[in-house]
Structure 1
Amino acid sequence: MVHPRPSRRTLLRSGAALAALALTDGCSSDSGGAEPPGPSGTASGAAPSAGPAAATMPAESRPHTRTFMAWPALEEVWGDQLPGVRQDIAGLAQTIAGFEPVVLLARPDQADQARQACGSTVEVIELMVDDLWVRDTGPTFVTGPKGLVGIDFNFNGWGNKQTHANDSQVARNLLDHYGIARVRAAITGEGGGIEVDGEGTLMATESSWVNDNRNPGRTRDQIEESFKELLGVEKVLWFKGVAGQDITDCHIDALTRFAEPGTAVLHRPAADTPPDIWSTASDQALQVLKSATDAKGRTLKVVEIPEPDFDLIQGSGKNFLATYINYYVCNGGVIVPRFGDRAADDHAVGIIGDLHPGRKVTQVTINHIAAGGGGIHCATQQQPAIGS
């Protein structure tokens, strides 16, 4: 859930935004001459489309082979925040590396700096990136009879809002690096815009998918059919979300997540927060969750996690993303943000720990990342283990 003020890098320089528009054409990603998405969701030379009978997207809680992250590259995006953001990324990568292998993508001329910052527990590979949000720029993985397949959702800078000449190619280049089959989706969007329970249910916001800045002319039903074909899901729970107020148009992974099949965690405003568009979006999501059933016919249990008190957070500005549900589940652990409101931080950790028994809950301070409007989940992407 985004903060009630403009969020997720709305501090973008006008020059960067204009550059993004110049680099892209409609909802097609800047691919340097690559083929456009095909009607079946495949690309020339890519793997066959991954449908429900072929492959499914595992829940994040299933075993991982590794976690991918990315080294933020551009001063034009972060300005004087860049050193602090890199410090947060290094700390986050080192923490996750205590649970499972971490591979950090970095530009060739920045790779040595990334290695020095992250240390020997984090593998750094040289691959051109623009920013750190690998949840959105990297592939979304599915598994099935043919093994591991990466879905390329045609990243276009969250609807042409940010420079992404390199980030639009991260999914393709990363899959090529590891020799993993690639499916190019017939729709445009981001990994942070989808949430699955691993048992056939997917959640998404209309604002970040049924939006002309990604999918002009496509209906919600058409996008839903693509989800079912690509990710092997059977039911989609849609939330209205909020369009045009943050760079992601209200990604689902900052609004509500599955803690496990049948249980959803929901971001809620702090006590005494005046009503606004974001609290309205949370209220609407609560009503959807309370009345919904999942793909297995279960009524959902809803667990609410309130945001911290912004007056107690050092460095929180108008773009700060203060949601605890943007956490990351890795092998044996859960990585949760620490914002500086001790009472709220402890309350959130207690709830999340109870929801993920048997995993070690680790808090990480990410206030520089959060000041740019993102979180731990946004900065990570899991590669599921085959057969998990």
Structure 2
Amino acid sequence: MKTINTSTLRTPREDDFWMPPEWFPREGTLMSWPVRIEAWLDGLEEAREGYVEVARAIAEFEQLYMIARSSVDAKGYVPYDDARKRLPASVEVWDFPHDDSWVRDNGPTILVHKDGRRAGVNWQFNAWGKKYHPYEADNELAPRILEKLGLPRYDAPLILEGGSIHVDGEGTLLTTEECLLAKNRNPSLSKETIEAYLRSYLSVSTVIWLDRGLWGDETDGHVDNLACFVEPGRVLIQVAADPDSPNMPNSKKNLTILEEGRDARGRKLEFVTIPEPPRRTCRGESLTLSYINFYPVSGGLIVPVFGKDGDAEMKKADDRALGILREQYPERKIVPIDGMKIIKGGGNVHCITQQIPKGIKEQS
């Protein structure tokens, strides 16, 4: 089915499409195979090992689609062939051109309609404020995915990464001012204009603007490292545990924002805190470690942990975080994976995945 570009006609809100929450029933999950060598502090091979671990975990719960280009590099390496060889047989591998492996940020946001139809938003992408080049293939990836899925497309006139937003499915969106108002994204757009686009393309009515994301985050403060909805009205947020943490001032500010905030239905927000992991570096660079950067699958939760190498202090922090997550998600199977292999590229499990919600007809 040919993709229909509806962006010149109406907006998703006008057509009654909305962005469902991440706990909405799934058709499957998207990922992209690691290919950009300069993005990984300890090299691509470790990155690919990390992606395989995540892919295998997801494939135990739902259908996984892996994007991997078939073009041959200077050393004769073919990403498509490598991905196909390493991944479970149940994983579909799609041959699309791409520059990087963070499909949360360069993939589409898929919307649903009460009559069961689906459509997708094609946001503009400039590699987190032109931090990496080239990025043209990544900017064209969302339309390719939507065409593959046979879904209509809305082209949003806004540079936005999927990791910068999180919704509750009832009209409330979480984001950070640090990212969405960054001058390397949409320098000519005001906060009010950006919020209007979010309302029009995601059908939200309330935007909760947290201040900054985690210190040192090269995405300029993506909310998926900081906070998420567990369910409508309840937010999970990572906070500084050490008074000397560079995240302490911002933790206090963001908690105040949540305390004073109300969601789209006028409810006072309940929030649950997860203490941040101990600080760690790799090759002189500080790593932005986050327990919030997990990914919910159908019946499970894929969670990055950072003490699998025997680091006792980190293992204690991991266990504390996993305990909190088990309390918040008692019906889900918690699957810890080695997040150290992925964070060395700048993100983690949530950053490398993108959900494909099912088209479900609303019961009258």
Question: What TM-score does the superposition give when structure 1 sets the normalisation length?
Answer: 0.83
Paired position in structure 1 for 2:291: 324
Name the SS of the counterpart of 1:121 in structure 2: coil
Name the SS of the counterpart of 1:185 in structure 2: strand
Structure 1 position 156 matched with structure 2 position 126? yes
Residues 15-41 of structure 1: CA deviation (Å, up to 9, x unaligned): xxxxxxxxxxxxxxxxxxxxxxxxxxx
Q: How does 1:1-388 map to 2 (within 5 A)?
A: 48-51=10-13, 54-78=16-40, 80-108=42-70, 109-144=78-113, 145=115, 147-163=117-133, 164-241=135-212, 246-270=217-241, 272-276=242-246, 278-310=247-279, 318-340=285-307, 341-387=314-360
Give the Cα separation in 1 of the matches to 2:24 and 2:330: 14
Gaps of 5+ in 1: 1-41
Q: How far off its partner does 1:212 sit?
A: 2.2
Checking the alignment, whether the CA contact within 8 Å between 1:253 and 1:326 is kept in structure 2 is yes
Percent of pairs identical after alignment? 37
Give the residue type in structure 2 aligned to 1:77. A
Give the Cα separation in 1 of the matches to 2:217 and 2:131: 10
Residues 214-249 of structure 1: CA deviation (Å, up to 9, x unaligned): 112211111111111111111000122169954211
Residues 266-302 of structure 1: CA deviation (Å, up to 9, x unaligned): 11123x34143x3322221111001111111111111
Name the SS of the counterpart of 1:329 in structure 2: strand
Between stretches 121-130 and 76-85, larger displacement belongs to: 76-85
Give the Cα separation in 2 of the matches to 1:197 and 1:45: 25
Paired position in structure 2 for 1:19: none
Aligned residue pairs, count: 343
Name the SS of the counterpart of 1:253 in structure 2: helix
Residues 83-111 of structure 1: CA deviation (Å, up to 9, x unaligned): 00110001100100100000010011311
Question: What TM-score does the superposition give when structure 2 sets the normalisation length?
Answer: 0.89
Checking the alignment, whether the CA contact within 8 Å between 2:239 and 2:274 is kept in structure 1 is yes
Compared CA separation, residues 197 and 317, structure 1 to 2 (3 A): farther
Checking the alignment, whether the CA contact within 8 Å between 1:158 and 1:214 is kept in structure 2 is yes
Residues 124-144 of structure 1: CA deviation (Å, up to 9, x unaligned): 111111211100010011111
Checking the alignment, whether the CA contact within 8 Å between 2:110 and 2:118 is kept in structure 1 is yes
Q: How far off its partner does 1:168 sit?
A: 1.1
Q: How far off its partner does 1:207 sit?
A: 1.5
Name the SS of the counterpart of 2:22 in structure 1: coil
Give the residue type in structure 1 aligned to 2:161. E
Give the residue type in structure 2 aligned to 1:346. D
Gaps of 5+ in 2: 71-77, 308-313
Q: How far off its partner does 1:77 sit?
A: 2.9
